[in-house]
Amino acid sequence: MNILITGGSGFIGTRLVDELLSKNVSITIFDKVQSTKYPELSVMGDVRDEEALISACKGIDIIYNLAAEHADDVSPKSLYADVNIGGSINVVAAAKANDVKQIIFTSSVAIYGLNRGTPDESTNALPFNEYGRTKHEAEKIFLEWVSECDKYSLTVLRPAVVFGECNRGNVYNLISQIISGKFMMVGNGKNHKSMCYVGNIAAFLTLQIDAKPGTYTYNFADKADLSSKEIVTIVKDSMNITRTIPTVPYFVGLMGGYTFDLIAKITGKKFSISSVRIKKFCADTTVNTDRLLESGFKAPYSLEQGIRNMIDHEFK
């Protein structure tokens, strides 16, 4: 079995390759950045380059499309559409050109937006930013592809925020700020977060190589959801931090975020604090994972264990 992974040099992609190699498959990593861990598997390329992608997919049986623009502060904003939508169009073109019958796509719970309760896979999309909007549009592209042939197989995975070793995203920044003493709790900390540990999502993605023809859509998060306050408590306990964390009202924190937005716009610098990150941190961002549980998947790690694994690797 020959597998191509777009964005395979990244955080999730590298962990996925770790898992897939135990399955005795042939792997090609298609990424604009060479894999530092698996350079021998790397083919340099960009999902925005249709011809390069078509060429790389010769002889491929399964495409994992992990390539995405996902950061909060991507500039210019048109990159979200160029990569997330345009890249998906090119993946479909490459699949058709090479008779690839299976695609596994990592979308995002960002398509639901904020404070939507606990949406399941049938909940309508209501994205609040360009990342969520372009991921939703990408889903439509793959759904149109799979509808064209009853021999095609499409898995759409909608992960909550993914964290783990070797990641420098929002969870890493949060932990770093708590440890350094720069963190302030914005709001009461009672809002809950759906999150997923990279070891668990890689394990589930690996299982999808056995998916039958058809369409499969899953929310992905490690349950039970933790509150912001509980996440802070786990970090403090792991690092033996005893000091009290200061708290500020939500509106004060949001005004601070807008201030950093303005400074960033004037200076061109990027900051770890922004209005978008304040909104995301203080929002309830939970999803229903009943369908995931019904699939029979058993996560190798608990959510708390994943957080502690990341802290041990990155901060000790």
pLDDT digits (tens, 9 = 90+) for 179-214: 999 999 999 999 999 999 999 999 999 999 999 999
For residue 291, CA distances in Å to 18, 138, 219, 220 come to 26, 21, 8, 9
- Pick the more confident residue, 70 or 254: 254
Side chain identity at residue 253, one-letter code: G
Q: Is 295 exposed, middle or buried (0-12, 13-18, 19+ CB in 10 A)?
A: middle
Q: What angle do CA 126, 127, 131 make, to 5 degrees?
A: 160
Class level of CATH domain 2-162+194-224+287-300: alpha beta
- The reported pLDDT for the residue numbered 124 is 97
CB 200 within 8 A of CB 222: yes
Mean pLDDT of 111-121: 92
- The reported pLDDT for the residue numbered 242 is 96
- pLDDT interval class at 7 (50, 70, 90): very high
pLDDT at 72 over 80: no
List the catalytic residues. Answer: 131
Mean pLDDT of 243-252: 94
Determine which helix (DSSP H) or strand (DSSP E) holds 103, and give its type and residue range.
strand 102-106
Q: 216-246, pLDDT tens digit by residue?
A: 999 999 999 999 999 999 999 999 999 999 9
